[in-house]
């Protein structure tokens, strides 16, 4: 296909392959405009159902002119095949971001999901349900603008039914209960899928997973998801509540529209609908944070120096200023003593003296008042006023008023992650210390087929213990089902980590492969970790690695289990 001309476009490179066809990068031969060209597999050209769905995707895109949805340029159906010409979306989708980062800081991804909600709400208002919301279908432009991709499984509510009763389209892991059961769908099914995607982004874990699709469907339909805070303790309760509401089993208990979910996410950033890159002409604008609203029942906080007084409020600091009072007294004495003389006494000399007295006292009083105002301005606000012991302090974490000095959001000096409000330490780089003693490890029978590479060399299995001798490096489970478990490293002997009973460190974690990783204390006295073909990767200090040198204090993440490295 490379170099082939399709209508007014020429194919320049292949971008990827999907279930129904290939996606290419192309260019308009005259205008030079770069586009994405989606082609239907030649093997499906005679499959009427597949062709109808391909046409339906083009019809859906034709109705969706929105900054947060990929745009349609043209549709071509000729002797060469069936093609959808789309806007070329630069950037990185959330699936690749997760592979690269492990998880995404909430304050970074919330604006992306606000954009996604806006795109979904627009589609829903056009009677179009996406039905396949997942990380790979959400593209983030370098400017921060988010676009929804792949409406190939979208359902036009008013179109002819193209799926049989009970048939599902989409990706199982992100499907709602009603979609898995083949029931009628509405906008709330997309809300559920977006909630699962947000869950995965902020925790790095899936809410439900099983290697057998049948068991996975049962979990999604019947089990409640693990609260996100159990995977990532730094998540706020408010964000956790938004995610869990979007993922409710009963659609009636979810957000009833994407717009409702958008409002809830915007409230986390402060200021109503919030500010995202797509709201200001595509320019990248950071979200504006604000302090949470103060409940009406609480006493009003004391005025903050430098704050602007509300209309009608008395400027008490100026009134109590000695210079201001002296200026007012001079005015009163000057006019009180001189005005009667001017009005009653007829002597020219006396009246002249009274006029001079009034002028000097008025001028001096005015000067004192001006000096008082200038002193108040230079001191940064109202004069110091004693506050009673019972007065409530200003609310902690309040955002400075407009015009005050901007304070940068704190970040972890080790991994660079932004710290959320109320966090003093990164929960990954500074985990809570495990109990001094831990229960002995329990045998675990994972059941089913284990992901064990039988060709790997088998090493003697170290014995896990609650504590390791001083001087020897060790691994300690600090979060997960096996929290508190600790294993000593022996020089030159790898410790395999996984669910298989033969592993040196056997974990009761469904997110861990049979043989997931191995850690070795080499003869060079260096500690290494390597991925042993796991299905979801090994992360060290929030970075996905294949093989990595470790040091004391490093954090290893496998599945939903976190291990701390002790250098000994």
pLDDT per residue over 410-469, tens digit each?
Answer: 667 666 666 655 556 666 565 554 444 444 444 433 333 333 333 333 334 444 444 444
Q: Which residue has the tokens 């400027």?
A: 315
| H or E segment and range at residue 26 | strand 21-28
Q: pLDDT digit string (tens) for 331-382?
A: 777 777 767 766 766 777 777 777 777 777 778 878 877 877 777 665 544 4
Q: What is the pLDDT of residue 28?
A: 93
pLDDT at 361: 77
Kindly list the distances between the CA atom of residue 523 and the CA atoms of 321, 487, 494, 495, in Å, as whole numbers in the listed order.
76, 18, 11, 14
Measure the CA–CA gap between 318 and 331, rounded to whole angstroms.
Answer: 16
CB neighbour list of residue 93: distance below 8 Å, 6 or more residues apart = 135, 136, 137, 138, 139, 140, 149
C-alpha pair distances (Å), 64 with each of 57, 125, 170, 281? 11, 10, 20, 18
Tokens of 368: 């004192």
Q: Which residues contact 513 (CB under 8 A, 6 or more apart)?
A: 450, 451, 498, 499, 532, 533, 534, 535, 536
CA distance 542 to 217: 30
State how far the Cα of 457 lies from the Cα of 460, in Å rounded to an integer.
10
Helices (H), 293-347: 316-319, 322-344
Catalytic site positions = 132
Report the pLDDT value the prediction gives residue 154, as an integer from 0 to 100: 58
* Segments making up each domain of the chain, as ranges: 5-87, 92-157+166-279, 319-378, 464-566
Q: Which numeric CATH code is attached to 92-157+166-279?
A: 1.10.510.10
What's residue 466's pLDDT? 41
Residue range 5-87 forms a domain whose CATH class is alpha beta
Does residue 145 contact residue 277 with C-beta atoms inside 8 Å? Answer: yes
Q: Give DSSP secondary structure letters for 223-255.
A: PPPPPHHHH-TTS-HHHHHHHHHHT-SSGGGS-
pLDDT of residue 349: 75
pLDDT attached to residue 278: 42
Query: How many angstroms separate the Cα of 443 from the Cα of each of 328, 475, 505, 515?
Result: 86, 19, 11, 16
CATH architecture, range 464-566: Sandwich (2.60)
Compute the distance between CA of residue 38 and CA of residue 218 in angstroms, rounded to an integer: 35
Shared fold status for 5-87 and 464-566: no
The CA-atom distances, in angstroms, between 3 and each of 10, 137, 392, 558, 560 are: 6, 27, 72, 44, 46
What are the mean pLDDT values of the chain's consecutive 10-residue runs (568 residues total)?
89 82 90 90 82 83 89 87 89 90 87 96 91 92 91 53 39 90 92 96 89 88 92 88 96 96 92 39 35 38 40 48 75 72 72 77 79 65 40 42 46 64 60 44 37 36 44 84 88 91 88 89 91 87 87 85 85
């Amino acid at each position: 296909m490379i170099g082939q001309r399709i209508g007014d476009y020429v194919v320049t490179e292949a971008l990827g392959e999907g279930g129904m066809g290939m996606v290419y990068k192309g260019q308009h031969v005259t205008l030079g405009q770069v586009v994405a060209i989606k082609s239907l597999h030649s093997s499906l050209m005679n499959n009427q159902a597949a062709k109808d769905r391909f046409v339906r995707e083009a019809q859906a895109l034709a109705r969706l002119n929105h900054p947060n949805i990929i745009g349609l340029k043209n549709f071509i159906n000729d002797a060469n095949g069936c093609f959808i010409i789309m806007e070329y979306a630069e950037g990185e989708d959330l699936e690749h971001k997760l592979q690269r980062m492990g998880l995404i800081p909430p304050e970074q991804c919330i604006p992306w999901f606000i954009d996604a909600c806006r795109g979904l709400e627009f589609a829903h208002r056009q009677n179009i349900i996406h039905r396949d919301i997942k990380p790979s279908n959400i593209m983030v432009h370098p400017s921060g603008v988010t676009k929804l991709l792949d409406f190939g499984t979208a359902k036009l509510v008013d179109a002819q039914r193209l799926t049989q009763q009970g048939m599902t389209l989409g990706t199982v892991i992100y499907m709602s209960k009603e979609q898995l059961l083949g029931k009628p769908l509405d906008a709330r099914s997309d809300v559920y899928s977006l909630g699962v995607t947000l869950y995965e982004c902020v925790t790095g874990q899936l809410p439900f997973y099983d290697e057998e699709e049948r068991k996975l469907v049962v979990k999604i339909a019947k089990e409640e998801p693990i609260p996100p805070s159990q995977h990532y303790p730094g998540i706020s309760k408010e964000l956790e509540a938004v995610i869990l509401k979007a993922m409710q089993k009963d659609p009636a208990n979810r957000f009833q529209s994407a717009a409702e979910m958008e409002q809830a996410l915007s409230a986390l950033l402060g200021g109503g609908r919030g500010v995202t890159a797509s709201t200001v002409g595509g320019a990248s604008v950071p979200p504006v944070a604000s302090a949470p609203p103060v409940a009406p029942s609480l006493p009003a906080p004391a005025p903050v120096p430098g704050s602007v007084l509300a209309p009608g409020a008395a400027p008490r600091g100026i009134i109590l200023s000695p210079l201001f009072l002296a200026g007012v007294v001079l005015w009163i004495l000057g006019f009180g003593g001189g005005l009667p003389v001017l009005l009653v006494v007829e002597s020219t000399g006396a009246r002249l003296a009274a006029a001079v007295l009034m002028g000097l006292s008025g001028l001096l009083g005015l000067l004192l008042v001006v000096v008082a105002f200038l002193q108040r301005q230079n001191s940064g606000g109202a004069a110091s006023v004693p506050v009673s012991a019972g007065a409530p302090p200003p609310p902690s974490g309040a955002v400075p008023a407009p015009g005050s000095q901007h304070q940068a959001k704190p970040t972890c000096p080790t991994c660079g992650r932004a710290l959320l409000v109320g966090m003093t330490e990164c929960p990954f780089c500074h985990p809570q210390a495990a109990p001094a003693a831990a229960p002995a490890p329990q045998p675990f029978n994972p059941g089913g087929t284990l992901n064990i590479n039988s060709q790997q060399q088998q090493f003697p299995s170290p014995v896990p213990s609650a504590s390791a001798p001083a001087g020897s490096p060790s691994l300690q489970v600090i979060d997960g089902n096996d929290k508190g478990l600790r294993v000593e490293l022996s020089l030159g002997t790898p410790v395999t980590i996984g669910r298989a009973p033969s592993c040196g460190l056997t974990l009761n974690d469904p997110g861990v492969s049979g043989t997931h990783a191995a850690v070795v204390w080499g003869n060079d006295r260096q500690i290494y970790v390597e991925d042993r073909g796991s299905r979801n990767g090994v992360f060290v200090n929030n970075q996905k690695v294949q093989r990595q040198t470790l040091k004391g204090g490093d954090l290893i993440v496998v599945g939903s289990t976190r291990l701390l490295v002790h250098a000994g």
